[in-house]
Amino acid sequence: MISKGGSEALLQTLVDTARTPSPDYDILLPLFRLLAKVGLRDKHFGKKALELEALDVTLIMARKNLSHSQNLLHCLWALRVFASSVTTGAMLGINGAMELLFKVISPYTRKRTRTIRAATEVLAALLKSKSNGRRAVNRGYVASLLRLHQDWHRHDTSNTYVQIRQALLLCLKHVANLQSGREAFLAAQGMEILFSTAQNCLDQKRMEPIISMALQILRQCYPKSSLPLPTISSAYAFPVLGSTGAELPPVLTEEDFEDDSDEEVDQDSDSEDGKEEDDDLETDVNKLSSKPGLDRPKEELEQYAVMCRELSDRFEELESKCEDDLDFGAAQCDNNRHLPMAPSPKQHFLNQDQSYGMHEREDTAQTSLLSMVKMGRSTAQLGLKENPITKTCQNVPSKDLGTDSIPNEIPDLQPSLKEGAWTVDDISCPGISTSLSNSTLPRENTEIIDTLLQTHPKDVPFHDPHLYMDKARRTRSVADFWVVAFPDLWGHSSLPTTQSMLERKWGVQRMKIFEDIQRLIQPSDLINKVVFSLDEPGPLQDISTSCCLRFFSQFESGNLRKAIQVREFEYDLLINADVNSTQHQQWFYFKVAGMRGGVPYRFNVINCEKPNSQFNYGMQPTMYSVKEACLGRPTWIRTGYEICYYKNHYRVRAAAAGGTSGKCYYTLTFSITFPHNEDVCYLAYHYPYTYTALMTHLDILEKSVNPKHVYFRQEVLCQTVGGNPCPLVTITAMPESNSTDHLEKFRQRPYQVITARVHPGESNSSWVMKGTLEFLVSSDPVARLLRENLIFKMIPMLNPDGVINGNHRCSLNGEDLNRQWLSPRAHLQPTIYHAKGLLYYLCSIGRRPGVFCDFHGHSQKKNVFLYGCSIKETLWQTECPVSTMTVSEDVSYRTLPKLLDKLAPAFTMGSCSFLVEKSRASTARIVVWREMGVSKSYTMESSYCGCSQGPYQGLQFGTKELEEMGAMFCLGLLVLELKSVNCSHQLRGAAPLLKAVEETLDYHLQRCSSSSSSTAELEDEPPCLEEIDYQTDSSLRQEDSLVELDRQIQECTFNEEEEEDEGTG
């Protein structure tokens, strides 16, 4: 009907009929209903009505029928459809439509409520126009709307007219899109009025639309302000070539935040939204398939030969191999008291009742990986049971938690713990010194620390606090950190169970935002005392008399810039920006002390940047209790409840944000009930893993292997800008002998290159790397096959400086190093420059890596997945006219992710992508694929949160699961090598073992291809339970309101027909 000109015909009929001397309403009323129904489905209806003068006619008829409810109601329905076009709505405003509507919308009454509802809905539609909004402000309608809302709220005690109250709030919401509207709202005490009315009906489920709308308006009108910081630049500065000094942000005004221009945008235009993702895909076949030349002189590559000594070494020491093997075990145990009891990746590679001796029996080792797999489902299910520590931190704890089961390993500390002979603060941040006895701490404190170190639990794998302290003294930081964090010194043992994702209760975020708004309305209730700040040197509080928490973050990987006590048990926290940057606030890691046990504390991180977070979908921050560690439970746990992530009222001016208009911030809020009085706890975004921890770990790993069987070489790739060595690790099996044949076979092994931690805040990638390293040097038969058939080049930490200084994304230059692979410079991005150089060198000598993988962490998605590169898939996605038949491509890039989908419990093929994006052209994955010709070039992303599928569904990742993923990645590489055409005869002989592993994994993890394919169709996350943002109404809401109008018209038509039938009868 619309396509055949039906809308124009109906509108013309309306105009002609209305202009007759005595309009026939028996014709006009059905015509109005038909016009409204057709107009709901005609995008250009408002424009047509304007051209045919139907707007003026309808307004005139509405004015004539102010006392005739039924006729007026039909006119209002037509005006509602006309007003759905912003342009037409603006014209109605010019012609006096709002003045007419305010004559209809009266204070509370039980009469003519259908007409009043229709009038408020028309007014709400008109106020979407900025010109109408300004007109409403200038004529004092904001205060009138607030009075009407108050009156209806006060008298509608039975909540019969919720739709009218909701429409009045919608009017206010549209006006609040304007700066002048917000100012008028604040001047009319709108914040106080809406806060009070919303509070009165919080416990009424039927009032949900009212509460939600009121909250949106309150958030929208909350005055915007700058962060309580002297500058948005990092508190730390490092002098680098080309850097600029930090500047003070100018004073912000409301004009800096919102656009209040005169331009009217018709939201109903036919223009289609562009697909941003597809627009970012590379469609230039030449760029996709070309191989750029070297970015440096070829002669320069020779310097990397020293990093591949396995290709030139004669291994003369192998002549004395047999007799030396006999003495290795005893000598190793004597010389390395700090070594873990097992070289395999943690205890989860063995059954719980197995021995953890240094040399496992061969039959035990052969089943270790299978044992881990068989335990996979049962271990995951155990995660549903509450751990005593985690339960306490998520709920109100019992008063005696943590002292009821003091382990026998630390009997000397029991009296001290119980009698309070020392404070945990004394040992919570040991100083970095040449020896603990020469520490800057008081003598009695160092004695306590020495005593504690003597009782250090021996079951913390691959960790030694003495070695850690020695390594920490050599770590160079921008701020010259002089203490180490206790968790990093003491070590971490993974929980025996996996923690479930936090179930979020509806309304939690709402309550938190109402508490935030209460700050503005009732400022006298606030403390607002700065208790910690990197910008204000010296103590900010008297520890002996202070009743607030004590914060500290000036240690390796620490990040907390400022803490403000808002209320007695509530604190606002601000994260430090990356060094030489004004952004990337996400990673946090800090110490907090002086708490009361059993008391809920609320923490608000108020300067987060990402528009959404896994904290809205079950993720919790991590906590480490010093008291728990000293009681024999040195464990990072997921903790916190009432967790929400939402947009707040803080903004940054465009000039201070480098031109980004209206940059906004988000709040992460969470509550913690600490398990002990006067404890010292560390809180972090994710499980921390420091640079010093890596260097300690590598030293212990090197000493744990039998050098006659395992080739483990640790060397320095380069020095970082901050003066720290970036380690390069080579792992393979030693040749059988130094004979020519054995050396030739040894040197023909394919290379695999793995990197990690280019983004410092992605500490989960380091735990995956840790699992990879530990598995590769273990006695597991799969690990032995890997070493005998492949050579691993590993750079475990590409951005040591960023990790050390608590950055989230950048290097000391303020650059994202994973966007520097196209043209790295040796003096600015040395780790990327030399990592790329090493890859160039391997390719130049005919040793192109079979697989390159860069380990990362992902803050928006769950599970573990790979990003790869494919020309054809990219062209298919963009529907490029270039025929993919002419493009040749090695399709084996999909093999590894498919294998991991079958092998690894945490991995899902459904989230993998093989598209080549323009915006990522300078990342490691794409540069290695394009310039080095490595078809299997990947980024492996591990969620900060956990799994939404498989045996770990509904569970958060612990360090155990992340390390397991590292081991499973190794298994995938071995199966991939077995499937390759160049597979060695020796590896083919091991095929039955690998087949058994695959079948066992497939059976016990129940990860068949059909389940994987169904996962791919699911959205990564459902919509968040509550609004993160508070923007203007979406098109979906507009569509819903029009559907409701259609329903009202249908209902009216039905009632009229019934009345006619009754009259006839």
Q: Catalytic site residues?
A: 941
Tokens of 55: 């707007």
What number of other Cβ atoms are within 10 A of residue 51's Cβ?
Answer: 12
How many whole angstroms separate alpha carbon 50 and alpha carbon 75? 15
3-state helix, strand, coil in the chain (%, to 5): 45, 10, 40
Of how many residues is the chain composed? 1065
What number of other Cβ atoms are within 10 A of residue 206's Cβ?
Answer: 9
Question: Which residues pair with residue 562 across a beta bridge?
Answer: 533, 574
Report how far apart, in Å, the C-alpha atoms of 784 and of each of 47, 365, 746, 775, 847 are: 75, 10, 14, 10, 22
Residue 564, Cα to own-chain centre: how many angstroms? 24
Report how far apart, in Å, the C-alpha atoms of 761 and of each of 131, 325, 376, 804, 859 are: 46, 42, 28, 10, 10
Report how far apart, in Å, the C-alpha atoms of 958 and of each of 129, 412, 703 are: 51, 31, 27
Residue in the block written with tokens 């206790």? 486
How many whole angstroms separate alpha carbon 514 and alpha carbon 215? 8
How many whole angstroms separate alpha carbon 937 and alpha carbon 836? 13
Separate counts of helices (H) and strands (E) for the chain: 40, 18
How many whole angstroms separate alpha carbon 1047 and alpha carbon 381? 48
Residue in the block written with tokens 């993919």? 884
Q: Which residues contact 470 (CB under 8 A, 6 or more apart)?
A: none
How many whole angstroms separate alpha carbon 243 and alpha carbon 246? 9
Question: Which residues pair with residue 671 across a beta bridge?
Answer: 602, 641
How many whole angstroms separate alpha carbon 294 and alpha carbon 827? 18
Tokens of 456: 């250090």
Taking the CA atoms of the chain, what radius of gyration do you get in angstroms? 34
How many whole angstroms separate alpha carbon 533 and alpha carbon 573? 10
Contact between 724 and 801 under an 8 Å Cβ cutoff? The reply is: yes
Q: Which of 867, 1001, 839 is nearest to 942 (CA)?
A: 867
832-834-836-837 Cα dihedral, nearest 10 degrees: 160
Backbone phi, psi, residue 745, to 5°: -65, -40
End-to-end CA distance of the chain: 35
Report how far apart, in Å, the C-alpha atoms of 1010 and of each of 207, 486, 898 are: 44, 47, 12
What number of other Cβ atoms are within 10 A of residue 127's Cβ?
Answer: 28
Tokens of 37: 């129904």
Looking at residue 737, its amino acid is: S
Give the CA count within 13 Å in the CB-facing half-sphere of 763: 28
How many whole angstroms separate alpha carbon 944 and alpha carbon 55? 56
740: left (phi over 0), alpha (psi -120 to 50) or beta: alpha
Q: Which of 191, 222, 214 is nearest to 650 (CA)?
A: 222
Burial tier of 808 (Cβ tally within 10 Å: 0-12, 13-18, 19+): buried
Residue in the block written with tokens 């709402």? 510
